[in-house]
């Protein structure tokens, strides 16, 4: 599935901060319309990989190609153009604190489109309705709960209808019901809009519910220890650590 029509190609990527290498020579691809999950234990480099995939940090080596265009080498307008095609939801939501939810969603529309104000307003309210927050459009981020902030951040990430959404730990800190609602939202968006999702998480129920494929990062090898369908990996992986991870067993139990 991955190689047939790759939308994102991560090619021989080495990432880290300053001199500290976190992942070495990582390569994989994400297919169009796929829900792709990056998982791994704490400190394995999941969020770091995501930050490099969205171009926040330059990799030490390798490149990230999004829809045929090299994000790593792109600059100026080309880079803006590639970034316009992706939406990002950060772990904390990262909504602009001085703006209401509607203003947060309106911002990318105001910056990138020539739509009249009334149209922008309507699109913003529609996006908020999609995540069930239309009645909170005038609230500031600080006035709503953490789960709502995450949903509002998804609405903002979707403002320009990007074909790809990156989500960093969408269900961390959410109650099971809100978390399940978020999963349902992701599946609904994928079905309705054919979006591709790259999600960093280690919520196993959520992974089984939504992931087409996962890659698992391993901090011991600073690389990928498994790629594939999460259920298959759970039952059939040759790697004891991978099976242990999916079965949620403590280290001692597997040994």
CB of 92 to other proteins, least distance (A): 6
- Closest approach of other proteins to the CB of residue 6, in Å: 21
**Three-state secondary-structure class, residue 238:** coil
Closest by alpha carbon to 66, among 18, 25, 9, 116?
9
- Applying CB under 8 A, among 51, 125, 202, 222 the residue interacting with other proteins is 51
CA distance 46 to 248: 18
Using CB under 8 A as the criterion, what x/- string covers residues 109-128 for binding other proteins?
--xx----------------
H helix runs in 68-175, sequence order: 76-84, 101-112, 117-130, 146-157
Which region, judged by CB under 8 A, interacts with other proteins, from 79-87, 173-181, 185-193, 197-205? 79-87
Nearer to other proteins, 99 or 204 (CB): 99
Give the helix ranges, DSSP H, for the chain: 46-53, 76-84, 101-112, 117-130, 146-157, 176-193, 204-210, 230-236, 240-246, 251-254
Q: Is 22 among the residues that bind other proteins (CB under 8 A)?
A: no
Query: One symbol per residue from 83 to 102: x for binding other proteins (CB under 8 A), - otherwise; what is it?
Result: xx-x-x-xxx-xxxx-----
Report the nearest approach of other proteins to the CB of residue 238 (Å): 29
H/E element, 75: none
CB of 80 to other proteins, least distance (A): 4
Contact between 71 and other proteins by CB under 8 A: the answer reads no
Instruction: Give, for 142, the enclosing helix (H) or strand (E).
Output: none
Segment contacting other proteins (CB under 8 A): 25-33, 81-89, 131-139, 171-179? Answer: 81-89
Q: Which residues of this chain interact with other proteins, rule CB under 8 A? A: 51, 54-56, 79-81, 83-84, 86, 88, 90-92, 94-97, 107-108, 111-112
């Amino acid at each position: 599935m991955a190689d047939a029509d790759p939308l994102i190609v991560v090619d021989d990527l080495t990432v880290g901060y300053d001199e500290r290498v976190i992942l070495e020579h990582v390569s994989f691809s994400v297919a169009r319309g796929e829900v792709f999950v990056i998982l791994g234990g704490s400190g394995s480099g999941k969020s770091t990989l995501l930050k490099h995939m969205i171009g926040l940090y330059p990799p030490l080596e390798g490149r990230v190609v999004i829809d045929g265009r090299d994000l790593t080498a792109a600059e100026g307008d080309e880079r803006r153009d590639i970034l316009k095609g992706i939406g990002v939801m950060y772990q904390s939501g990262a909504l602009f604190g001085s703006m209401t939810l509607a203003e947060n969603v309106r911002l990318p529309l105001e910056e990138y489109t020539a739509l009249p104000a009334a149209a922008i307003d309507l699109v913003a309210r529609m996006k908020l309705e999609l995540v069930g927050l239309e009645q909170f459009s005038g609230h500031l981020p600080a006035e709503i709960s953490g789960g709502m902030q995450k949903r509002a951040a998804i609405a903002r990430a979707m403002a320009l209808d990007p074909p790809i959404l990156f989500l960093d730990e969408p269900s961390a800190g959410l109650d099971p019901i809100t978390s399940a609602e978020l999963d349902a939202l992701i599946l609904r968006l994928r079905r309705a809009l054919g979006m591709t999702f790259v999600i960093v998480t280690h919520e196993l129920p959520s992974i089984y519910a939504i992931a087409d494929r996962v890659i698992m990062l391993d901090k011991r090898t600073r690389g990928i220890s498994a790629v594939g369908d999460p259920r298959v990996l759970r039952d059939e992986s040759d790697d004891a650590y991978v099976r242990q991870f999916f079965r949620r067993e403590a280290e001692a139990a597997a040994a």
